[in-house]
Amino acid sequence: MVYLSERGYRTIAHDRRGHGRSGQPWSGNDMDTYADDLSTLIESLDLKNMIMVGHSTGGGEVARYIGRHGTKRVAKTVLLGAVPPIMLKTDANPGGLTMDVFDGIRAGVRADRSQFFKDLTVPFYGANRPGAKVSQGLKDSFWLMGMQGSLKSELDCIKQFSETDFTEDLKKINVPTLIVHGDDDQIVPIADSALLSAKLVQGSVLKVYPGAPHGLASTHQDQFNGDLLAFIKA
């Protein structure tokens, strides 16, 4: 955000309900409400010609926002390491991850989320790969963001990012779209996400970062910032 702001762009980040600095309601921790919350913010600020950038679950929020509210205020979209079309293995999505994977995440978060988030930093940033240089500070920042959220909201969110089918939402994206994904993403495997999304979003541009992890906006910061700026200017 600082990179873009220094180049003259207005940048706005929102914290999903139950996460970060947002409130922590017991209810409404579902993808439709996430999208409607985002719409409320956008309408309140009267934003126009937006470039929406969504990472991971946030990419699902971008897709669902457009699925529910259209693109009248949207100029372009960027899906970064994003979860769409759907992560869960189903009859229609045979390449997805099995439910036991997500049940394991739920169990880990419920039992000891602090340690779970610390452990998760390793595959998230690819720190378990030969030659990886992932600072302790980056790992700590990930842990801190996780601990700021409500436990109830985070448990609910696991179902939302894993089981929500964004196929029809992706088909409604009718603005220029950049899809960026690392081919060594250990959290959201590329074969069942970006490669499929690129086929569903008409006219989208897919950029694959060789060897990049899920958290590539940090590990490949300069490369992603450059690609993002070029896409915005195009």
Catalytic annotation present for 204: no
**DSSP-derived 3-state class of residue 79:** strand
Q: What backbone phi and psi angles, to 5 degrees, belong to 12?
A: -135, 130
Which of 185, 192, 197, 227 is flagged as catalytic? 185
Which of 162, 214, 220, 227 is flagged as catalytic? 214
Rounded CA separation 22/42 (Å) = 16
Catalytic annotation present for 214: yes
Q: Are 147 and 174 in contact (CB under 8 A)?
A: no
Which of 19, 37, 55, 56 is flagged as catalytic? 56
Rounded CA separation 83/86 (Å) = 6
Catalytic annotation present for 69: no
Tally of CB atoms within 10 A around 217: 18
Q: Are 121 and 145 in contact (CB under 8 A)?
A: no
Catalytic residues: 56, 185, 214
